[in-house]
Amino acid sequence: MTNQPTFAINTNPTNSYPYVTKAQVKARLEEDADFRLQCILVLYRRQTEDERDEKDTKYKNRRGFMSSHAVWGSKIAEKVISGEELTEEEEGKAEEIPCRYTKQLAAHFRAEQQMHLDEEAQEQIRAKFGV
């Protein structure tokens, strides 16, 4: 676990929803290549172990890659983990793939944000927003 969440808790009084939204994830994906790779790794880790081993999607659990992205997503994630350079084609796929998963990624980053809140703050947010 990192010391700080990937997205800070929103403390802006004019927009009181405290957690990261799909729109915020989408905007960051569009402008930040390193974040796109981070998201590929998040999706890869959300695959089940046997899905990672086979670079495939076996379960309709709404976790990790869709079957159409499983091979490329897994290949890219494994290269990033091992520190290998991506080919131009892989970089293109890394730019496309995470943009299809803003809902799943926003849920992941919200959970990350919640881990960094104390119990009182979590209860206040649950009471106000029902999340």
Q: What letter would DSSP give residue 34? A: H
Q: Which residue type is seen at 85? A: E
The answer to whether the pTM exceeds 0.85 is no
Q: What letter would DSSP give residue 61? A: S
Reading the chain (131 residues) residue by residue, the pLDDT tens digits are 446 667 766 666 566 677 888 999 999 999 999 999 999 999 999 987 878 877 777 767 778 899 899 999 999 999 999 999 999 999 999 999 999 999 999 999 988 888 877 777 777 777 777 76
- Which of 78, 79, 99 has its CA nearest to residue 87? 79
**CA separation for the pair 3, 58 (Å, rounded):** 34
For the chain, the straight-line distance linking the first and the last C-alpha, in angstroms and rounded, comes to: 22
